[in-house]
Amino acid sequence: PTEAQWEFACRGWTLTALNNEKNLSDAEECPEADEVSWYAYNSDMPQPVGKKKANNFGLYDMHGNVCEWCLDWFDDYPTGATVTDPAGPDTGTERVHRGGSWYYDANACRSAFRHCMEPEDKDSTIGFRVVLSPVHQDDDTPDPGHDDPPDDPPVVVVDPTPGQNITIPLSDTVNLELIWVEPSTFVMGSPEDELGRWSDETQHEVTLTYGYWLGKYELTQAQYEAVKGSNPSYFKGADLPVECITFYGAQSFCEKLTEIERAAGRLSEKYVYTIPSEAQWEYACRAGTTTALNSGKNLSDKKECSEMNEVGWYKSNSDSTTHPVGQKKPNAWGFYDMHGNVYEWCWDTYGAYPTSPVTDPMGASWGSCTVIRGGSCMDTSDGCRSAYRNYTYEYNGYNNLGLRVALVPAE
């Protein structure tokens, strides 16, 4: 693999020092490294592969055990520029190797750590990992990201039934409830006379051509931990919404949940767990309403009002902290906390709304920020309206920003 291919695969969407979404507590010896790697403080030789925790992509031993050769000649990274499909300089004297080894301290086994050796060098700390990459795309090229069909009899998969709500067992004690949402046409955005309205809420007709499922509640910390084995949240509590997750972290959770459900035989290739689009989010939030709130009421004040107290945790009733999900009044379709508590990631790149009808919109074709919706426990009532739009960079993870999981057709 190239060095870029190696690091992307190693990280599995993480931005932390290790691909288990953790940073090092010590540069030499630390429990975070013990979890995912064989290194100087838990081994004195190479160990059998696959014994440590895999990353989000299912790859083992990306940290430690043996260093892994990369295709690139070693050189400084480019600065101030975006690169596409980098493969290192054309010439050099030493090749890159990555991942660290059983002989190295924890800091040398980080996702970003770089080392190099002359190509003819060899010792017990260095090996390699095979990559299969396209020479050219043709009918015989395997689809990226999909394993060849197994020789064993296939698992019998029971797909979710459109029109029915579903409950997914994430552990012996933790479930995930999803509500079915019918395809339909609705008016997205807010009227010009709505109190608290912003100019980017232009009303336009949206048609959703396929149904989907959406989480009854904001994703909780217990649910996140049942799938990912970790909890990034600032405010701690099993029934509190998970927060401090980036867009990439939210995406990684959905991919992991999809993988688990397919392995368990509860989900076929026809469906995938994902982050909802902005249109899917607002349609589910409104549940047929056209008012500022999904209770069928408008705001009597932009900052503090009884109408907002009824349906959500916001700045004036939350003490600026998150609260257990499901304590406020649900909307007509049974969704809780669509107003306040934590913002929720949407799939869309932020951009101006169209002025004409659209079908299955997925956001702007380009942009630097991603949409977040619903407002939070730190916002005034006008920032928690059904139509209110906010946005942030995909790599930001705040203590008032979480996720509501969607289940949609894969195609």
- Domain containing residue 199: CATH number: 3.90.1580.10
Regarding pTM above 0.85, the answer is no
Q: Position 305: which residue type? A: C
From the list 186, 185, 184, the residue with the least C-alpha distance to 211 is 184
From the list 252, 243, 208, 179, the residue with the least C-alpha distance to 19 is 252
115 shares a domain with 181: no
Q: Which two three-digit tokens encode residue 395? A: 């790599």
**What is the Cα–Cα distance from 133 to 186, expressed in whole angstroms?**
44
pLDDT at 411: 74
The answer to the question of residue 143 being in a domain is no
Task: Calculate ∠ Cα 176-178-179, nearest 5°.
Answer: 160
Strand ranges inside 223-309, DSSP E: 271-274
For residue 86, the surrounding DSSP H or E stretch is none
Residues with Cβ within 8 Å of 121's Cβ and at least 6 positions away in sequence, in order, are: none
Tens digit of each residue's pLDDT (9 = 90 or more) over 237-284: 999 999 999 999 999 999 999 999 999 999 999 999 999 999 999 999
pLDDT at 29: 94
If you compute the radius of gyration of the chain from its CA atoms, what whole number of angstroms results? 24
Phi/psi at 346 (5° precision)? -115, 165
CB-CB contact of 71 with 3 (8 Å): yes
pLDDT at 136: 53
194 shares a domain with 67: no
**What is the Cα–Cα distance from 297 to 95, expressed in whole angstroms?**
65
Domain boundary among 116, 134, 152: 134
185 shares a domain with 97: no
From the list 93, 86, 95, the residue with the least C-alpha distance to 114 is 95
338 shares a domain with 205: yes
Domain boundary among 86, 118, 134: 134
**What is the Cα–Cα distance from 23 to 191, expressed in whole angstroms?**
47
188 shares a domain with 97: no
Tens digit of each residue's pLDDT (9 = 90 or more) over 68-101: 999 999 999 988 778 999 999 999 999 999 999 9
- The neighbour count for residue 166, using CB atoms within 10 Å, is 15
Q: Which two three-digit tokens encode residue 275? A: 């982050």
pLDDT at 159: 64
Is the torsion defined by CA of 202, 203, 208, 213 positive or negative?
positive
Domain boundary among 112, 134, 156: 134
pLDDT at 185: 97
Distances (CA, A) of 68 to 1, 10, 13, 206, 314: 9, 11, 20, 50, 50
209 shares a domain with 321: yes
The answer to the question of residue 139 being in a domain is no
What is the CA 138 to chain-centroid distance, rounded?
31
248 shares a domain with 122: no
**What is the Cα–Cα distance from 133 to 2, expressed in whole angstroms?**
10
pLDDT at 81: 77
397 shares a domain with 330: yes
From the list 74, 88, 62, 54, the residue with the least C-alpha distance to 10 is 62
**What is the Cα–Cα distance from 39 to 33, expressed in whole angstroms?**
8
Total domain count for the chain? 2
Domain span at residue 246 reads: 166-409
Q: Which two three-digit tokens encode residue 38? A: 């064989």
Low-confidence ranges of the chain (pLDDT < 50): 137-158
**What is the Cα–Cα distance from 373 to 231, expressed in whole angstroms?**
22
184 shares a domain with 118: no
